[in-house]
């Protein structure tokens, strides 16, 4: 994945690379959980309720928009909304 070069390393590559790496880790965890669920193992990682699936979708939206914000600034809006949804979901 190409990262923009800039004078500051935090805005240049660290934050989008962190979002990208966390996105890959979370996607791998859910991919393996789905494969094991289909194989008959119940690890408790697969969401069962509608709210759990909504949290997963919001998490992926947060990670994707956090990575894309450094290339297209309008992605700040989904980043902020999904971040607030994740916080409100944990508070309730």
Q: Indicate the average pLDDT of the chain.
A: 84
Percent of the chain scored above 70 by pLDDT? 86
What is the distance in angstroms between the CA of the first residue and the CA of the last residue of the chain?
Answer: 37
Tens digit of each residue's pLDDT (9 = 90 or more) over 25-57: 999 999 998 899 899 888 888 888 888 889 999
Q: Can you give the residue ranges of every domain in the chain?
A: 9-91
Instruction: Quote the pTM value.
Output: 0.77
């Amino acid at each position: 994945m190409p990262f923009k070069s800039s004078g500051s390393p935090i805005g240049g590559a660290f934050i989008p690379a962190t979002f990208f790496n966390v996105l890959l880790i979370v996607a791998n965890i859910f991919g393996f959980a789905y494969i094991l669920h289909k194989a008959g193992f119940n690890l408790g990682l697969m969401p069962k309720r509608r709210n759990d699936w909504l949290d997963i979708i919001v998490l992926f939206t947060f990670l994707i928009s956090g990575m894309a914000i450094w290339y297209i600034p309008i992605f700040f809006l989904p980043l902020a909304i999904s971040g607030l949804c994740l916080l409100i979901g944990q508070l309730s």
